[in-house]
């Protein structure tokens, strides 16, 4: 529910023609305000009260929250749509690992190390977990503080969630961590809210709110907001998978479609508390990731859980408005030698994946030249002039592939049979071969070609 | 400001497709809510998603050992393999006629149809029969299957814009349903559905918008599937209300990561399946028994 300029005009001081804001009229200013093209402070004639009212109207429906500080800080919230095809999802959820002060030191250190070091390279990106969820399970202040300190020392700046049952424990943890590290304090509940307001107001750290159900959560967030605590993260308490998914959907709908401010915050979820089975934990985490979770807390970091989950996160948070592309270069598949053939296609990620996979499946060593077509598929890149005999020849020469293989056979996509002549003209000495129209044809095509080489 | 649950209701309703007949009949679709929103009282979801297990008509040569393993002793015998899957609790059997492909064994249509009949007679589940997408060979194979199992209401596919006519006509003549398949494109999917629905009613059509694996284009297929459901259920487009099948297991297991080790393969298939269930798939085709068990447990 984006605010309209016409609603803002009604709040303007109507000093016709003053132009002090830099716009010709209040109407023009209001219109710019609504679309984010102007700052409310540009009008100096607004009362404090009206300015606050306008700021509230202009605030994003889901408040952006930053946890941690520095290069690894985690930014969540500030989402604009229910479904990624409506625009895109902007802020990837944090994936966290629970570390408890009742675990033995070795186990704690193993988890901290995994948070730091477990990573996967995927299409040139590094995929990792990004939050340490440090839990006081013992209730002992000394143990909790010691664990927090350990995570700070060993964690290499990883953002933290401090999790404890009492406000005093949380404050002890905060002191051990350092307020400047901006950990998320988990959690304010119905039981401790008054104490929390007394002790946490003015500290300027994000806090999580936990209650049993959305109604109770929203009562708490309203109260906290009045007390000046606004950097909030929500936990509606549901610990069964489809109820948890429902709550995520309701929170986002309430924020985006109802404009219901008390639920206009990102969320934290706990697959680690919903099952004891790692495979099921992954399934729950995947469902919550697809449906809006802001932080996903896992019981441990296992490669076979973290890898697929971080790939899913990358996929779901890919901007559907931008075609997904892979790096333009020569990919060496099945250890090609100086006699292996060359294939060329576009850098649309799906094209690359299917072609590379099929080549790999044939076990035939080959060079796959991936040309930059700005992520467009074969036919689209041809029709927009990004993939022609001329551009292909230029790129092939640039890659230096001629020095890598003595083979002078180059395979082009079957859909582009029409550029064969053009490419032959541009690349004397090369035999241009029209490949299959679909990647699936490579499995029989390539072994046959290799047989002739 | 008091909280009121942001419940939504939609005017559209998915077509309800019955596959199989008599005791082995099973229903797909029929809901007027989005996937899994049945848990919050927005409408009806009379037929929760169904899980099919995949069986090949020939022994797979390139399957990862992790997913072939549980079927190794029956992999050369489609009848025994299908019975194994029935024993595992599959809702349907998804029989892939790989051997019919001219690039494989080029099995003649009548021989394939006879095998389908043997499998069908050996199990008490409804049957999905898929060919490999050879536009010249598929119609002959599926027509022979339609004839050999006349009146048994199989789900036959895929039919594409190139070959829908003979296959849909055979399905009509012999009382079967078909799967329309378009390449991850909502407009092409609708165009094909319009054409096929001149031959068969929506209650005899299932959609296959293609379902790539996690990491290999899942985001495109996820969004196309999600949009397909929205267009049908929220915006009441009758040509997009047919139930959706996610044929994703084969897409998963052909990739490098699932082949690396069993646990990663299981995870990969599992995440892929869950993602399509959330997008609104009414039927998901699976391979690994452990994944099947896990996902089944989650959705029932």
Residue B115 has pLDDT above 80, yes or no: yes
SS3 at position B54: strand
Q: What angle do CA A125, A126, A127 make, to 5 degrees?
A: 115
A365 inside domain: yes
Q: Which of residues 248-287 of A touch B (CB under 8 A)?
A: 249-250, 253-254, 257-258, 260-263, 279-280, 282-283, 286-287
Alpha helices by DSSP H, listed for chain B, are 65-68, 78-88, 109-122, 138-148, 164-174, 186-196, 218-233, 249-253, 256-260, 262-279, 289-299
Of A15, A30, A58, which one is at a domain's C-terminal end? A58
Task: From chain B, pick out residues whose CB is under 8 angstroms from the CB of A287.
Answer: 274, 278
**Are A98 and A47 contained in the same domain?**
no
Domain assignment present for residue A322? The answer is no
Cβ-Cβ contacts under 8 Å, B276 against chain A: none
CB-side exposure of A318: number of CA atoms within 13 Å? 24
Answer whether A156's CB lies under 8 Å from A43's CB. no
Chain B: residue whose CA lies nearest to A85? B223
Round to the nearest angstrom and report the end-to-end CA distance of chain B: 36
CB environment B169-198: b (16+ within 10 A), e (fewer): ebbeebebbbbbbbebebebbbebbebbbe
Question: How far off is chain A from B151, nearest CA to CA, in Å?
Answer: 34
| Nearest CB to A315 within list B8, B219, B261 | B219
- CATH code of the domain in which A363 resides: 3.40.50.11600
Phi, psi of A451 (to 5 degrees): -60, -30
Check CB contact under 8 Å for A443 and B103: yes
In a shared domain, residues A136 and A231: yes
Ranges A328-342, A363-377, A429-443, B37-51: which has the least confidence: B37-51
A326 to each of A91, A122, A311, A441, how far by Cα in Å? 22, 10, 15, 22
Tell me which of B274, B276, B278 to substitute to probe the interface with A (most A C-beta atoms closer than 10 Å).
B274
In this structure, the answer to whether residues A338 and A308 fall within a common structural domain is no
> Does residue A157 fall inside a structural domain?
yes
Residues A114 and A229 in one domain: yes
pLDDT band at A2 (very low <50, low <70, confident <90, very high): low
Task: Count Cβ atoms below 10 Å from residue B64 Cβ, excluding itself.
Answer: 20
| Domain shared by A53 and A86, yes or no | no
Q: Mean per-residue pLDDT for A20-48?
A: 88
ipTM greater than cut 0.85: yes
Please answer whether residues B239 and B194 qualify as being in contact, where contact means their C-beta atoms are separated by less than 8 angstroms. Answer: yes
Residues of chain B positioned with their CB less than 8 A from the CB of A84 = 219, 223
pLDDT band at A34 (very low <50, low <70, confident <90, very high): confident
Domain count, chain A: 3
User: Last residue of some domain: A58, A77, A99?
Assistant: A58
Domain range for A22 is 5-58
Are residue A287 and residue A423 in the same domain, yes or no? no
Q: Would you say B256 and A299 are in contact if contact means Cβ atoms under 8 Å apart?
A: no
Chain A environment of B214 (Cβ under 8 Å): 308, 311-312, 315
In a domain, A210, yes or no: yes
Interval A305-340: pLDDT, tens: 999 999 999 999 999 888 778 889 999 999 999 999
> CA A163 to CA A158: how far, in whole Å?
16
A324 touches A314 (CB < 8 A): no
Chain B residues whose CB is inside 8 A of the A245 CB are: 36, 39, 278
The CATH number given to whatever domain includes residue A51 is: 1.10.15.40
Report residue A291 as tokens. Answer: 């449906």
- pLDDT at A441 > cutoff 90: no
Within 10 angstroms of residue A151's Cβ, the number of other Cβ atoms is: 25
Whether A323 is in a domain gets the answer no
Min distance A114 CA to chain B CA atoms (Å): 18
Asked if B3 lies within 8 A of A214 by C-beta distance, the reply is yes
Pick A286's closest partner by Cβ from B4, B217, B275: B275
Domain boundary among A16, A32, A58: A58
Q: What is the pLDDT of residue A77?
A: 97
* Chain A residues 86-105 with a CB less than 8 Å from chain B: none
Residues A143, A269 within the same domain: yes
Residue from B9, B132, B212, B219 to probe the interface with A (highest A Cβ count within 10 Å): B219
Residues A127 and A197 both lie in one domain: yes
Sheet holding B155-159, edge to edge: B205-208, B177-181, B155-159, B127-130, B92-96, B50-56, B283-286, B245-246
Percent of all residues in chain B with a pLDDT value above 90, rounded to a whole number: 90
Cα A185 to Cα A160: distance, rounded to the nearest angstrom: 9
The verdict on A425 and A335 lying in the same domain is: yes
The answer for A 2-61 residues in CB contact with B (under 8 A) is: none
Backbone angles phi and psi of A446, in degrees to 5? -70, -45
User: Cα distance from B295 to chain A (closest Cα, Å)?
Assistant: 8
Which domain CATH number covers A113? 3.20.20.20
Q: Quick one: A76 and A183 in the same domain? A: yes
Question: In this structure, is residue A403 part of a structural domain?
Answer: yes
Q: Which of A93, A11, A110 is nearest to A316 (CA)?
A: A93
- Reading the block at residue A410, the tokens are 């180059």
Residue A325 lies in a domain: no
pTM, to two decimals: 0.89
Q: What is the pLDDT of residues A101-114, one digit of tens each?
A: 999 999 999 999 99
Identify the weakest region by mean pLDDT among A68-77, A254-263, A379-388.
Answer: A379-388
Quick one: pLDDT at residue B38? 66
Give the integer Cα–Cα distance in Å for B77 and B84.
11
Asked if the structure places residue A11 within a domain, the reply is yes
Question: What distance in Å separates residue A113's CA from the closest CA in chain B?
Answer: 21
Q: Is the pLDDT of residue B37 over 80?
A: no
**Could B3 and A262 be called an inter-chain contact, meaning their C-beta atoms sit closer than 8 Å?**
yes
For residue A291, which residues of chain B lie inside 8 Å, CB to CB? Answer: 278
Q: Are residues A245 and A353 in the same domain?
A: no
Q: Are residues A363 and A287 in the same domain?
A: no
CB B98 within 8 A of CB B107: no
Is the CB of residue A398 less than 8 Å away from at least one CB of chain B? no
Vertex B226 angle, CA B220 and B231, to 5°: 120
Interface test with A, best of B4, B6, B34 (most A CBs within 10 A): B6
């Amino acid at each position: 529910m984006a605010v309209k300029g016409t609603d803002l005009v009604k709040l303007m001081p109507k000093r016709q023609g003053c132009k002090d804001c830099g716009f010709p009229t209040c109407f023009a200013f209001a219109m710019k305000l609504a679309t984010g093209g102007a700052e409310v402070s540009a009008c100096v004639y607004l009362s404090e009260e009206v300015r606050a009212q306008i700021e509230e109207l202009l605030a994003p429906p889901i408040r952006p929250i930053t946890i941690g500080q520095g290069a690894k800080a985690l930014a969540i919230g500030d989402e604009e749509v229910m479904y990624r095809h409506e625009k895109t999802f902007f802020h990837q959820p944090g994936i966290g690992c629970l570390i408890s002060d009742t675990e033995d030191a070795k186990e704690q250190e193993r988890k901290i190390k995994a948070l730091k070091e477990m990573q996967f390279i995927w299409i040139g990106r590094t995929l990792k977990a990004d939050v340490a969820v440090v839990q006081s399970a013992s209730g002992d202040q000394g143990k909790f503080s010691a664990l927090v300190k350990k995570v700070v020392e060993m964690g290499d700046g990883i953002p933290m969630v401090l999790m404890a049952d009492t406000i005093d424990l949380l404050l002890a943890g905060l002191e051990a961590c350092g307020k400047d590290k901006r950990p998320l304090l988990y959690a304010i509940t119905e039981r401790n809210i008054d104490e929390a307001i007394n002790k946490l107001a003015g500290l300027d750290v994000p806090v999580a709110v936990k209650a049993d159900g959305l109604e109770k959560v929203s009562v708490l967030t309203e109260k906290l907001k009045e007390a000046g605590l606004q950097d909030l993260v929500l936990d509606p308490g549901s610990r069964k998978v489809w109820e948890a998914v429902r709550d995520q959907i309701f929170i986002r709908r309430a924020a985006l479609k109802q404009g219901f401010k008390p639920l206009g915050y990102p969320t934290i979820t706990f697959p680690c508390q919903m099952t004891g089975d790692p495979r099921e934990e992954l399934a729950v985490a995947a469902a919550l990731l697809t449906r809006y979770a802001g932080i996903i807390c896992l019981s441990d970091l296992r490669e076979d859980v973290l890898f697929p989950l971080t790939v899913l996160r990358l996929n779901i948070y890919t901007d559907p408005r931008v075609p997904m592309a892979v790096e333009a270069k020569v990919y060496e598949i099945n250890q090609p030698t100086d006699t292996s053939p060359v294939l060329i296609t576009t850098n649309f990620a799906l094209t690359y994946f299917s072609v590379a996979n099929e080549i790999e499946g044939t076990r035939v060593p080959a060079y796959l030249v991936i040309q930059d077509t700005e992520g467009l598929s074969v036919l689209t890149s041809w029709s927009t002039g990004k993939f022609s005999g001329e551009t292909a020849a230029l790129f092939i020469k640039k890659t230096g592939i001629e020095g890598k293989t003595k083979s002078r056979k180059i395979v082009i996509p079957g859909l582009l049979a029409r550029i064969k002549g053009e490419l032959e003209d541009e690349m004397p000495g090369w035999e241009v071969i029209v490949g299959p129209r679909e990647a699936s044809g490579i499995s029989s095509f390539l072994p046959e070609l290799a047989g002739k080489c | 400001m008091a909280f009121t649950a942001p419940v939504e209701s939609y005017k559209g309703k998915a077509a309800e497709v019955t596959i199989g007949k008599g005791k082995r009949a099973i229903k797909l679709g029929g809901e007027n809510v989005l996937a899994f929103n049945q848990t919050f009282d927005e409408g009806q979801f009379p037929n929760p998603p169904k899980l099919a297990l995949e069986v090949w008509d020939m022994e797979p040569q390139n399957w990862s050992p992790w997913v072939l393993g549980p079927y190794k002793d029956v992999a050369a015998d489609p009848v025994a393999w299908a019975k194994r899957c029935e024993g595992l609790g599959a809702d349907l059997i998804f029989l892939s006629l790989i051997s019919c492909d001219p690039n494989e064994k080029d099995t003649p249509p009548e021989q394939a149809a006879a095998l389908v009949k043997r499998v069908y007679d050996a199990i008490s589940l409804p049957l999905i029969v898929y060919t490999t997408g050879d536009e010249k060979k598929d119609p002959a194979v599926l027509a022979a299957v339609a004839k050999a199992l006349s009146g048994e209401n199989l789900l036959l596919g895929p039919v594409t814009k190139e070959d829908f006519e003979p296959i849909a006509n055979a399905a009509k003549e012999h009382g079967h349903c078909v799967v329309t398949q378009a390449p991850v494109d909502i407009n092409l999917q609708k165009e094909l559905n319009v054409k096929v629905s001149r031959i068969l009613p929506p209650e005899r059509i299932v959609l296959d918008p293609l379902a790539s694996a996690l990491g290999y284009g899942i985001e495109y297929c996820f969004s196309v599937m999600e949009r397909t459901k929205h267009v049908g259920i929220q915006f009441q487009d009758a040509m997009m209300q047919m139930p959706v099948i996610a044929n994703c297991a084969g897409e998963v297991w052909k990739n490098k990561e699932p082949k690396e080790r069993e646990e990663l393969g299981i995870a990969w298939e599992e995440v892929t399946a869950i993602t399509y269930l959330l997008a609104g798939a009414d039927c998901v085709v699976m391979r690994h028994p452990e994944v099947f068990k896990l996902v089944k447990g989650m959705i029932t």
